[in-house]
Structure 1
Amino acid sequence: MAGWPWWLQVSLIFIAARLVSACIFMAAAIHQGTNPWFPPAPDYWNFITIWDGRWYQEAADNGYPSDLPVDGNGVVKENAWAFHALFPFLARGLAAMTGMGTLPALTAIAMVAGLGAALVIFKLFREFAGKRAAMWGVIFVSTFPVSPILQVPYAESLNLLLLSASLLLVVRRRYLIAIPVVLLMCLSRPTGVPFAAMLGLLLLWRLWQRYGPSAGRTLPPGSGSGAAPTSVRSLVSLTVLVLATGLGALAWPAIAWAVTGDQAAYTRTETAWRGHDLVPFKPWFDTGRMLFGPLLGVLAPFVFTALFILVMMSKPVRALGTELRLWCACYMGYLLVFLHPQTSTFRMLLPLFPLALGAAQLSKSKAYRGTVVVMFVLLQIVWIVWLWAWAPLPGGGDYPP
Structure 2
Amino acid sequence: MAPGSGAAAGSDDARRPADAEHRAGPGHPSTVNDGALGASRAAGTVTAEDALTARRRPWRAALSGAWARSPWWLAVLAIYGLSRVWGWAVFSVVGGQQGPGPWGDGALGYLDFVATWDSDWYRTIFEQGYPTELPRDSLGTVSENPWAFYPVHPLLVRGIAEVTGTGWAVTAATVSLLAGFGAALVLYRLTCTAPVMSTPRTRGGAAVPALWTVAVFAFNPVAPVLQTPYAEALSMLILLSAILCVVRERPAWAVVFTVLQALTRPTGVALAAALGVWWLWRSVADVRARRRPWYRCVDRWLAVALTACAAALAWPAIAWAVTGEPTAYTETEAAWRGASDVIPVLPWFHQATVLLGPVVGLLAPVALVVAVVLMLRSAPVRRALPFFVRVWIAAYGCYLLLVLNPQTSTFRLLLPWAPLAAALVHVSGSRAYRTLLVVTGAVLQIVWVGWLWHWKQLPGGGDFPP
TM-score by length of 1: 0.95
Which residue identity lines up with residue 16 of structure 1 in the other structure? Answer: L
Q: Could you tell me which runs of 5 or more consecutive residues in structure 1 were left unpaired when the two chains were aligned.
A: 217-228
Aligned CA distance change for structure 1 residues 363 and 230 (closer, same or farther; 3 Å):
farther
- Residue from 365, 373, 376 that aligns with 1:301: 365
How far, CA to CA, are the matches of 1:234 and 1:187 in structure 2? 28
Aligned to 1:225: none
CA offsets, 1:96-134, max 9 Å, x none?
000001221111111111110000110111101211111
How far, CA to CA, are the matches of 1:232 and 1:31 in structure 2? 64
Aligned to 1:119: 185
How far, CA to CA, are the matches of 2:279 and 2:163 in structure 1? 42
Aligned CA distance change for structure 1 residues 102 and 204 (closer, same or farther; 3 Å):
same
Aligned to 1:66: 132
Aligned to 1:78: 144
Q: Helix, strand or coil for the counterpart of 2:358?
A: coil
Aligned to 1:331: 396
Aligned to 1:159: 235
How far, CA to CA, are the matches of 1:267 and 1:68 in structure 2? 12
How far, CA to CA, are the matches of 2:266 and 2:416 in structure 1? 11
Moved more, 328-337 or 235-244: 235-244
Q: CA deviation at 1:193?
A: 1.1
Q: CA deviation at 1:233?
A: 7.2
Which residue identity lines up with residue 308 of structure 1 in the other structure? Answer: V
Aligned to 2:331: 268
Q: CA deviation at 1:230?
A: 11
After superposition, residues 194-213 of structure 1 pair within 5 angstroms as 194-212=270-288
Q: Helix, strand or coil for the counterpart of 2:299?
A: helix
Aligned CA distance change for structure 1 residues 267 and 3 (closer, same or farther; 3 Å):
same
Aligned to 1:148: 224
TM-score by length of 2: 0.82
Matched residues, number = 388
Q: Could you tell me which runs of 5 or more consecutive residues in structure 2 were left unpaired when the two chains were aligned.
A: 1-66, 199-206
Is this contact kept in 2: 1:26–1:43, CA < 8 A?
A: yes
Question: 4+ residue stretches of structure 1 with deviation over 2 A?
Answer: 229-235
Which residue identity lines up with residue 309 of structure 1 in the other structure? Answer: V
How far, CA to CA, are the matches of 1:125 and 1:253 in structure 2? 33
Q: CA deviation at 1:2?
A: 2.1
Is this contact kept in 2: 1:281–1:337, CA < 8 A?
A: yes
Q: Helix, strand or coil for the counterpart of 1:295?
A: helix
Q: Does 1:93 align with 2:156?
A: no
Q: Does 1:348 align with 2:416?
A: no
Q: Does 1:279 align with 2:355?
A: no
CA offsets, 1:259-284, max 9 Å, x none?
00111111111111110121100100
Larger Rg: 2
Aligned-residue RMSD, C-alpha: 1.4
Aligned to 2:314: 251
Aligned to 1:177: 253
CA offsets, 1:213-253, max 9 Å, x none?
x345xxxxxxxxxxxx9998785110110111001100111
Aligned to 2:46: none
CA offsets, 1:179-236, max 9 Å, x none?
1111011110001111111111111111112111x345xxxxxxxxxxxx99987851
How far, CA to CA, are the matches of 1:90 and 1:137 in structure 2? 29
Is this contact kept in 1: 2:283–2:297, CA < 8 A?
A: no
Q: CA deviation at 1:175?
A: 1.1
How far, CA to CA, are the matches of 2:215 and 2:416 in structure 1? 15
Aligned to 2:302: 239
Q: Does 1:315 align with 2:391?
A: no
Aligned to 1:133: 209
